[in-house]
């Protein structure tokens, strides 16, 4: 008898009513009776292994073995032996022959988690299994046969790995016969509170503690948080609250104590459509330019005001603000500014520490070009670190790659 989506949820302990979740379950239900390969994609902690169990248990192989393999946790030097077995003496430490997972799981299912971590050589062996059901043990020339269904999973964009040459294109299309995407928790906002209640009730029973109740403001925080660790992170936080929280009625302030500070319940921007960290770094450098300009102007205005109030005597100002005066001197020297309206004498040069106003101050409209300011800031950073681009990039808060590109774009060579 065919199970409906709610029956599958009940059987495998899946909670939620999100349309994206229901669609994923329906796809798994339809593909399960076939022997087609399935590639499950989704963020870490979103429940990809649960779906591999759904597919296996609803297939004709449900009475056969099910083996889950974390490809990223096996060293590159032993992954072939683990998957395909080896013969005695085939390598140092091979004191006896050993069966691999494909031999042990014959007639059943193998779940390859983090499949994108497989070395290219192992990918070629895996492709042969998918195409012909044949493989070789390490150190053997005898062809072995196996009847295994492969379900693979990854939390990275495999197609990008294909384009960068880290993953075989033919293997990608062979595994991706049926793509199955598991939605991230932030895409299932309507399910977050339901999941929390279930986890909280389970942990209250496990640790024999009073039940947890969330106040409305806490529920709002819970729903608005981006949950980068997905269901796994939500479960961990529910367990912490059940064990550590004294007040069993939890408000927003109490809940924020268990959520990482950098994303306390806010809808923070996330990288989409291929955006990378480097995209944000360019924006950051522009903000840095503007904030530094504003800070310097405020400091300069305060100093000028004090000079005027003290009749031009600047000795105490130089003593109280040596760091800023030194920075200001360096900037004026760097930019070649020798305006008659303002003369800065650096204390280290045994010159008078005073400001001389040769003419009435003239208000000059300052350039507001971000490109010019960005160029000036990069020049200053390079001069400060004597042309060492690594340290200049750190000073600017950007990557070396971005700095090299900006130098080229702005012709600063």
* 398 and 310 in a common domain: yes
By C-alpha distance, which of 20, 26, 28, 33 is closest to 6?
26
Least reliable range by pLDDT among 10-14, 159-163, 265-269, 377-381: 265-269
Band (pLDDT 50/70/90 cuts) for residue 203 is: very high
* 178 and 201 in a common domain: no
Q: Residue 320: what pLDDT? A: 59
**Does pLDDT of 335 surpass 60?**
no
Distance CA 401, CA 404 (A): 5
The domain of 162 spans 5-183
* 225 and 178 in a common domain: no
* 197 and 153 in a common domain: no
Cα end-to-end span (Å), the chain: 72
In-domain check, residue 98:
yes
Q: Residue 268: what pLDDT? A: 40
* 250 and 130 in a common domain: no
Looking at residue 367, the DSSP 8-state letter turns out to be P
pTM greater than 0.85 (yes/no): no
Mean pLDDT of the region 206-225: 93
Q: Residue 319: what pLDDT? A: 55
Mean pLDDT of the region 231-249: 93
Looking at residue 98, the DSSP 8-state letter turns out to be B
Distance CA 120, CA 366 (A): 57
**Does pLDDT of 167 surpass 80?**
yes
Q: Residue 274: what pLDDT? A: 41
Distances (CA, A) of 379 to 290, 292, 336, 385, 386: 16, 15, 13, 10, 10
Q: Residue 265: what pLDDT? A: 39
Count CB-CB contacts under 10 A for residue 331: 14
Q: Residue 321: what pLDDT? A: 58
Q: Are 312 and 326 in contact (CB under 8 A)?
A: no
* 216 and 244 in a common domain: yes
Which of the pair, 160 or 272, is modelled with greater confidence? Answer: 160
Which of the pair, 343 or 154, is modelled with greater confidence? Answer: 154
Strands, E assignment, 29-82: 38-41, 66-70
In-domain check, residue 147:
yes
pLDDT digits (tens, 9 = 90+) for 397-408: 787 777 877 887
**Does pLDDT of 329 surpass 90?**
no
Q: What is the DSSP string of 105-156?
A: TTTSEEEEETGGGS-HHHHHHHHHHHHHSEEE-BT--SEEE---EEEEEESS
Band (pLDDT 50/70/90 cuts) for residue 378 is: confident
pLDDT digits (tens, 9 = 90+) for 65-93: 999 999 999 998 899 999 999 999 888 88
Band (pLDDT 50/70/90 cuts) for residue 377 is: confident
Band (pLDDT 50/70/90 cuts) for residue 381 is: confident
Contacts of 134 (CB under 8 A, 6+ apart): 128, 143, 144, 145, 146
* 303 and 172 in a common domain: no
* 170 and 243 in a common domain: no
Least reliable range by pLDDT among 204-208, 288-292, 304-308: 288-292
Q: Residue 341: what pLDDT? A: 45
By C-alpha distance, which of 126, 111, 34 is closest to 65?
111
Contacts of 362 (CB under 8 A, 6+ apart): 341
Q: Residue 74: what pLDDT? A: 92
Q: Are 192 and 151 in contact (CB under 8 A)?
A: no
**Does pLDDT of 358 surpass 50?**
no
| Structural domain count of the chain | 3
* 160 and 34 in a common domain: yes
Mean pLDDT of the region 382-404: 80
Mean pLDDT of the region 263-268: 42
**Does pLDDT of 298 surpass 70?**
no
Residue 386 falls in which region: left (phi positive, over 0), alpha (psi -120 to 50) or beta? left
In-domain check, residue 268:
no
Q: Are 90 and 138 in contact (CB under 8 A)?
A: yes
Average pLDDT over the chain reads 81
* Report for 56-60, 72-76, 208-212, 266-270: range of highest mean pLDDT: 56-60
Q: For position 142, which CATH number holds?
A: 3.40.50.300
Token pair for residue 92? 């140092």
* 75 and 47 in a common domain: yes
Q: Residue 351: what pLDDT? A: 52
Beta strand 134-136 with 213-214 is: unpaired
Q: What is the dihedral of CA 318, 324, 328, 329, to 10 degrees?
A: 50
In-domain check, residue 269:
no
Mean pLDDT of the region 96-115: 95
In-domain check, residue 272:
no
Burial 110-130 (b: 16+ CB within 10 A, else e): bbbbbbbbbeeebbebbbebb
Q: Residue 184: what pLDDT? A: 95
Token pair for residue 327? 């920075």
* 96 and 170 in a common domain: yes
Token pair for residue 379? 């020049």
Contacts of 185 (CB under 8 A, 6+ apart): 45, 46, 191, 192, 195, 227, 230, 231, 233, 234
Mean pLDDT of the region 209-233: 93
Q: Residue 288: what pLDDT? A: 53
**Does pLDDT of 56 surpass 90?**
yes
**Does pLDDT of 138 surpass 90?**
yes
Q: For position 197, which CATH number holds?
A: 1.10.8.60
């Amino acid at each position: 008898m065919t199970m409906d989506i709610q029956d599958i949820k009940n059987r495998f302990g899946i909670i939620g009513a999100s349309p994206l979740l229901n669609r994923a379950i329906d796809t798994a239900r339809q593909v399960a009776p076939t022997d087609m390969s399935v590639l499950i994609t989704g963020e870490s902690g979103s429940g990809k292994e649960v779906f591999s169990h759904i597919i296996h248990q609803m297939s004709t192989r449900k009475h056969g073995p099910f083996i889950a393999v974390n490809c990223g946790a096996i060293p590159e030097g032993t992954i072939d032996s683990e998957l395909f077995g080896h013969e005695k003496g085939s390598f140092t430490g091979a004191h006896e022959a050993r069966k691999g997972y494909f031999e042990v799981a014959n007639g059943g299912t193998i779940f390859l988690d983090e499949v994108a971590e497989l070395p290219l050589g192992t990918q070629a062996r895996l492709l042969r299994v998918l195409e012909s059901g044949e493989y070789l043990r390490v150190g053997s020339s005898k062809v072995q046969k196996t009847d295994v269904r492969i379900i693979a999973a990854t939390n990275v964009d495999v197609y990008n790995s294909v384009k960068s040459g880290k993953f075989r294109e033919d293997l990608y299309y062979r595994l991706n016969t049926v793509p199955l995407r598991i939605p991230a928790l932030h895409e299932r906002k309507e399910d977050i509170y339901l999941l929390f209640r279930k986890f909280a009730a389970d942990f209250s029973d496990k640790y024999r503690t009073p039940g947890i109740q969330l106040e409305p403001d806490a529920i709002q925080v819970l729903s608005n948080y981006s949950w980068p660790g997905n269901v796994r992170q939500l479960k961990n936080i529910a367990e912490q609250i059940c064990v550590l929280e004294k007040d069993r009625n939890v408000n927003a302030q109490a809940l924020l104590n268990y959520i990482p500070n950098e994303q306390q319940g806010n809808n923070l921007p996330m990288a989409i459509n291929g955006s990378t960290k480097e995209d944000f770094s360019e924006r950051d450098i522009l903000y840095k330019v503007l904030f530094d300009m504003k800070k310097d102007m405020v400091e300069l205005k305060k100093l000028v005001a004090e000079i005027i109030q003290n009749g031009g005597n600047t000795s105490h100002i130089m003593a109280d603000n040596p760091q800023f005066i030194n920075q200001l001197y360096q900037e004026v020297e760097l930019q070649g500014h020798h305006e008659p309206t303002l003369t800065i004498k650096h204390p280290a040069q045994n010159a008078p520490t005073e400001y001389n106003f040769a003419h009435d101050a003239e208000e000059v409209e300052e350039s507001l070009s971000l490109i010019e300011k960005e160029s000036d800031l990069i020049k200053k950073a390079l001069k400060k670190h004597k042309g060492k681009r690594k340290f200049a990039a750190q000073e600017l808060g950007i990557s070396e790659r971005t700095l090299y590109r900006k130098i080229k774009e702005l012709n600063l060579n």
